[in-house]
Structure 1
Amino acid sequence: MSTRTRGYSQLREAVTACLNRHDLLGVLDLGAPADEYDPEAEDFACIIAKGEPITADVVAAVWHKWFGEPSEHPGPPTIGMAALAVDLRDVQQAYARWCACRLLRQG
């Protein structure tokens, strides 16, 4: 999926809003910018756009990619990661509905 489409832009906005609501690092209330989680948002948006499942383990793997020690394996997902996965699945379902509607209009 092109990252330049309106749908992808809306997906990125929804993923960023979700990440900011969860603020797993607890940095937004400390003054971090609203785009603090942009790299992670891009990873999650790509996963969602590809239709790959979003699970707590996927969230833990993405988190580890950006914040973990490269020589270590990701640890088990936290409760916060599991909650984020649930909300990201909601975003994924909304995105899938949007894509399906778009295809119906084209066909």
Structure 2
Amino acid sequence: MARFDCKVPFKPGETWRRQNFFSPEMKPIGENPSVISVSAPDLPAVVESAATKTEAEAGWGGKTPVVEVYLRLATPASSNSVAIATIEAAVDGALLSCGEVADACDSGSSG
């Protein structure tokens, strides 16, 4: 298992976010990723966190294996802020946010 610091952005009014991360080298993602810690000094308290192996839609019509990081805040974010979720996942190489590479995969959802 390797550790990764994953940036999870929040916009004003959001209370939760699902952010997808993928292997740019298309390395396999092992089962059972987990959140080790969350640092969010400019956000309300994080009351729930999870990391899950799943798939996301890719821009070319396929599916990309991803680690989905889910964070839920105690109250809505008051400004644009970023939480850093340190996760542990069985991935050989790097993990990037789906939003960092055009058409790599759907970046996630929020509310």
TM-score bracket relative to the smaller structure:
under 0.3
TM-score w.r.t. the length of structure 1 is 0.24
TM-score w.r.t. the length of structure 2 is 0.23
- Structure 1 or 2: larger helix share? 1
- Structure 1 or 2: larger strand share? 2
Mark the structure with the bigger radius of gyration. Answer: 1
